[in-house]
Structures are given as structure tokens and as C-alpha cells.
Amino acid sequence: MPHQPLADAVRSLMDRARSDLAELVAFPSVADPRQFPVEECEKAARWVADAFAAEGLTGVRLLDTPDGTQSVYAELPGPAGAPTVLLYSHYDVQPPLAEDEWLSPAFELTERDGRWYGRGAADCKGNILMHLTALRALRRADGGYPVGLKIIVEGSEEQGTGGLERYAEAHPELLAADAIVIGDTGNFAAGLPTVTASLRGMTVVDVQVRTLAGNLHSGAFGGAAPDALQALVKVLASLHDEHGDVAVAGLTTDQTWTGVQYPDEQFRADAKVLDGVALTGTGTVADRLWARPSVTVLGIDAPPVVGATSSVQSVAKASVSLRVPPGTDTGAAQEALVAHLEAQVPFGARITVERQGNGSPFLADTSGPAYEAMGKAMVEAFGTPMVASGEGGSIPLCNTLRALYPQAEIVLIGVEEPTTQIHAVNESVDPLELERMALTEALFLRRYAELRSV
């Protein structure tokens, strides 16, 4: 059983967590000025800074990072001899996508069926409230913090523009810590305490195909004039074999995952796969998500159906994402993808491939005292042992922190269990997950201080 005064403190703070999350979700803090005013990100950053300052942290300031966004930093020295823990999250969010598909306004926290809905409710503003609620509970139950603290809340994680990574590299002393808690993942299933031990890396390329000087009438020229959209579709279709496995030469696709498994039916339910539609790829679901590469077409520039004319297209463009598991060099994988796309273009069409950013995969060392302390905390908070899972997404900052602080343990946790629908419409957070994860983090800070002081 968890320490009861601490558990009671967390529970008593949940109404405040909801009201705070509502305030934070109300900022449409999408770090892309083409979509939302930059002032919304600035307001969110100031809200976060004020919230941590109110919990007794000092040195609170906004860092102007090289990509033009702001990160929030705060710190507080711990008791003599205590370790230092860095807590990370990000306040920027994905755009709401099709706002007419939301059952409630995207930037208005709404309770429905026991969950709290809104863009960023889980990713990652819910994790900011996890940090805040854990710290508030420790102050209420213990009167202070057992460790030294550093807080960093990023402003452009979803855009992948690398502002915080470059800032940290230029100020290597800033984020130095004994343990780093990345609040940007979640439990394998609601109620199953999980640390994320593996992250896939990611690279993106934009591919454009040209065939004609301009569009042509499909009746007068179709059948002989090479269609750029048709050519692009053929190129994209070549990225997978008949089973749905990645078919890019130079990428290994037979790795296996040896940790916790992801049953097919559970995955189908979590992913909301339609009845009768088969999953893609071979191997176990865990193999496909966490141990092997995956390719996704993120978007296509082509005429929309509404307003389309009877034309053979002269140009078409797509954005293609490649995820790669630990052990794969992201730069080499990107080059393999580029070579594949260039080799597959039909008709002798002209193809250009623009390389976008890279993020390296990450594999945690789970053998140190921070993981021992997190395991103890999760058993206390959830009443069941901690498991380790992979994560198909990418957090490029993890490898920057590992390079800067090779002795620091990096632990990934959060409120983003599979049904939160992060990056999709109707994103939500389970308040019970938020409560238990806040309690977990508070207990972790205690247990880690105890282990490091022995």
C-alpha cells in the first residue's frame, strides 16, 4: 500500500488538477505560426512557468531556443547529499486536425464518460499536471522535496525542430542530473504500470514527382500522357510488400521484441481497427511496433475530390515517415529510403526527394537505482509490478540527454495509455491514470532519495 498521507494528498489535489488542465488546454499552443498565433505558445509557456514558481521552485525563466520557441526552466536545490532529478514534459501540442470530428471543442477540456477530453489533455499537458500534482502532494504531505529538482518543459517537441536539443548542447551544465524523468509516454494499458524502455527513431522525406509541363485534359491526353499522381502512387505502393512489411532494401525487418507482448485483439481494440480489416505486417504486434521499421505516408499534395477537374496531373508530392528501432542508424536508414524512392519511380518521371529532420532511436538501461525506485513506486501506487514496453514514437531529446549526461538514468513514464488517442481527434486522459501516475512520481522521488542516500 502507498504511504497513505501522500495518496490522500494526491487525491485531494485532483479537482485542482482538472481546473489547471482546463486552463492549460485552453491555449491552442501549436508551435507552428502558420496555423495558430505564436502568442498562444507564449501564454502557455508563461502559465507553466508561473505554476512551477508557485510550488517553490526558483530560477524560473523562459529559454529562447534556436528554433524560435521558448522552453520553461526551473530548479530547486535539494537537501545536503540528495540526488538531483530532472523532470521533462512539453506544452506544445499537435494541431486539432478535423475540428468538426471532435465531439466537444478541441481546446475546451470537457468531461465525458469519466474522461477529460481536449487537445493536449494527455500529450503532453496531462503529463505537466502529473509533475505538478506530484510536487504539490509532496509539499502537502512532507512539507518539501526529498531531492534536488530541475524542470524543463519544451515548446516545440511536436514540431521536431530541435530547439531544446540545440540549446542543451550549447549549455551542457543546465540540465545535468542524476536521474531524468521524461513525462511523455504512458502505461501499456490503463492500470498497468509501465516504463518505456525503447523508442524508435524517426526520419521524414518529402518526395515530388513531375511528368508534364502542366496539367492536361484527361480525355484528350489520358492513356498516353504520363500521370504524376499515378506515378507517385506506384512509388508509395512499393514501400511495402504483399504482407505489409517494409520493402526498402538495406532495412532489417525480422527483429523480434522479447519484452511484454501486445495481444492482437487488444491492439485491434486500442487502434479501433474496423471489423474484417486485417492488421499489416508479419511477426507479433510488439515486433512490428517496437523492434522493426515502419513506413507511413503522412500526406499527399494532389487535387482534392471536391473541385477536381478532368485532368492528367503534372506534379504530385507526398511526405513519408520512416520509424526505425534501436540499433539502426537513422541517417543510413534515411539514405536507404531515398534510394528506394528514386529507384521505383516509373515512366522515367522526374523525382526529387527532400530530406527532413532525423531523430535517433533510444534504448534505456533499466539496471540502475532510478529504475529500482520507479519499480517500488509503481507497485505501491498501482498494486501490481512494473513492466517495461517499447514505444513506436520518437523523443529525440532522449539521445541528446544521454550524450550530454552518460551517467544519468533516463526513465520514461506518463499518462498516455493507448486509449488517450494522442495526435488524433477526441484526445483524452483518464483522471484515474493521472492520479495514480502523480502518486507514482511522488513516491519515486522519495524512494530514489532513499536509495541514493544509502
**How close are the terminal C-alpha atoms of the chain, in Å?**
23
Q: Is 435 a catalytic residue?
A: no
Grid look-up 483522471 returns 431
Taking residue 86's Cβ as centre, other Cβ atoms within 10 Å add up to 23
Closest CA to 151 of 69, 215, 58: 58
What ranges make up the beta strands (E) of 186-333? 194-199, 201-210, 216-217, 294-301, 311-312, 315-324
User: Which of 55, 75, 157, 417 is flagged as catalytic?
Assistant: 157
* Count of C-beta atoms within a 10 Å radius of residue 331: 13
Angle in degrees, 0-180, between the axes of helices 4-12 and 14-25, rounded to the nearest 10: 40
**How would you class 201 by CB atoms within 10 Å of its CB: exposed for 0-12, middle for 13-18, buried for 19 or more?**
buried
User: In terms of Cα–Cα distance, which of 377, 447, 4, 415 is closest to 191?
Assistant: 415
Is-cis flag, bond preceding 398, omega within 30? no
Q: Say what the alpha-carbon torsion angle 208, 210, 214, 219 is, to the nearest 10 degrees.
A: -110
DSSP, collapsed to helix, strand or coil, labels residue 84 as: strand
Coil, strand or helix: which one is 420?
helix
| 92 carries an active-site annotation | yes
Rounded Cα–Cα distance for residues 386 and 155 (Å): 30
Instruction: Catalytic residue, from 20, 92, 158, 435: name it.
Output: 92
Beta-sheet strands, E only, within 201-314? 201-210, 216-217, 294-301, 311-312
CA distances from 287 to 208, 291, 349, 392, 448 (A): 31, 5, 36, 10, 32
Catalytic residues: 92, 157
